[in-house]
Amino acid sequence: MAITLAQALNTALHDAMADDDRVVVFGEDVGTLGGVFRITDKLQQRFGEGRCFDTPLAESGIVGTAIGMALYGYKPVVEMQFDGFTYPAYEQIVSHLAKMRNRSRGTVQLPVVVRIPFGGGIGAVEHHSESPENYFAHTAGLKVVAPGTPADAYSLLRESIASPDPVIFFEPKRRYWLKEEADLPVRTEPIGRAVVRRQGTTATLYAYGPMVRTCLEAAQAAEAEGWDLEVVDLRSLNPLDTDTIVASAQKTGHALVVHEAQVFAGFGAEVAATVTERAFYSLEAPVLRVGGFDIPYPPAKLEEFFLPDVDRILDAVERSLAFS
């Protein structure tokens, strides 16, 4: 049946809590309200206030509490209400959550999932649209995933909750209402595996999270130009599926990375470096990056000029092909 990405996430939480009573969900307004995007809808009614509860507006305290609960055997799933609210918890995440297993020589595990709605495209106010994925992908000890489809949203969240390691789970908020045919429960490729969403021969578009759908739309529009674009959904930023990335670049000879985050020092740089190091002699052009401009996310009325769209992607493809 057709299901939205938001419904897939909600179902994954229900199923995980039903399967394991150590799974607890907490954050700002996740209980009675069901979250601002209703991802935690009806969890409190079904499982009670002891397993799904609201917290004070203190993100550092939310993650710190999750660390303590994980040390006592629980599997916390916490929500950062918006991406821009994550920064007060940054110290807890990078200094403690990410390092505890290494610090304890593997004797202490912290199975914590930090859910973060991220990206723009919803006309939000300041601090409600950010792309902080690179901060966490750079941090050793964290898994970082960003589903772009409802099926992946369900499967990757279930796998993240089951993981013995902490996972930063980025949810593309502009795609919460994206629908696809999916029979839940479903299991897709595991964390650490990329997927070729569309086969092509002219050039490769690499994307994750909200930009997967945009790249598929660009690939469809490119047919009018006689271009056959391949679209690779990274899905997992850390660990990164370098084999799939390299194989696609070797196949097409042209590689472009697309993300909402600013281009400078963005995750696209890691993909570009990987392709250059491992597929250099297959490339017919430099690896190009398409992303947000090097400014903070702009006010809602200016978002359309900031976020990559089909036209900007196709312009970059044209530039890449011009090198051949």
Give this prediction's pTM. Answer: 0.97
Q: What is the extent of the structural domain holding 224? A: 195-322
d(CA 13, CA 7): 10
- For tokens 């964290």, what's the residue? 142
Burial class (CB in 10 A: 0-12, 13-18, 19+), 107: exposed
Burial class (CB in 10 A: 0-12, 13-18, 19+), 53: middle
| Whether 235 and 98 share a structural domain | no
Q: Is 189 a member of any domain?
A: no
What CATH number is given to the structural domain containing 240?
3.40.50.920
Q: What is the pLDDT of residues 84-120, one digit of tens each?
A: 999 999 999 999 999 999 999 999 999 999 999 999 9
| Whether 199 and 143 share a structural domain | no
| Whether 230 and 318 share a structural domain | yes
What CATH number is given to the structural domain containing 19?
3.40.50.970
Q: Is 164 a member of any domain?
A: yes
Q: Is 110 a member of any domain?
A: yes
Q: What is the pLDDT of residues 21-63, one digit of tens each?
A: 999 999 999 999 999 999 999 999 999 999 999 999 999 999 9
Q: Which residue has the higher pLDDT, 1 or 68?
A: 68
| Whether 148 and 256 share a structural domain | no
Minimal CA–CA distance to 80: which of 38, 134, 26, 133? 26
What's 99's DSSP letter? T
Q: Is 51 a member of any domain?
A: yes
Query: What is the domain count for the chain?
Result: 2
128 is catalytic: yes
Q: Is 286 a member of any domain?
A: yes
d(CA 2, CA 5): 10
Catalytic hit among 128, 138, 254, 259 = 128
